[in-house]
Amino acid sequence: MTASQNVVLECKKLGVELNTAPNKLKTGNGEDVCNVLMALCEVSLKNKFRFKRPVIKDDGGNLGDEADDMDGDDMDGRADLADEV
């Protein structure tokens, strides 16, 4: 119960208005928990995330389907996904 109360207090410090009692957060699931998580995500995006204009690079032409043929089948089971990332 103390952890739930701390979550509500910290949200208030961040300026997040919660219409829920701490005992509804105690279970760790449900609509009230999702509402808290959504509110915290919105605060985080507003404070730390900055949208920038996309930069589109011209790589010299449109290869279309030929680009897929040149790369081969990357999903044949032998491709290392860590290299792809």
- Number of domains comprising the chain: 1
User: What is the pTM assigned to this prediction?
Assistant: 0.52
Structural contact between residues 43 and 14, judged by C-beta atoms closer than 8 angstroms: yes
Q: Quick: pLDDT tens for 2-55.
A: 998 998 888 888 888 888 888 888 888 999 999 999 988 888 888 777 777 888
Residue 24 lies in a domain: yes
Structural contact between residues 1 and 22, judged by C-beta atoms closer than 8 angstroms: yes
Q: Domain span at residue 32?
A: 1-69
Residue 31 lies in a domain: yes
Residue 85 lies in a domain: no
Mapped onto helix, strand or coil, the DSSP state of residue 30 is coil
Residue 83 lies in a domain: no
More confident residue, 52 or 63: 52
Residue 80 lies in a domain: no
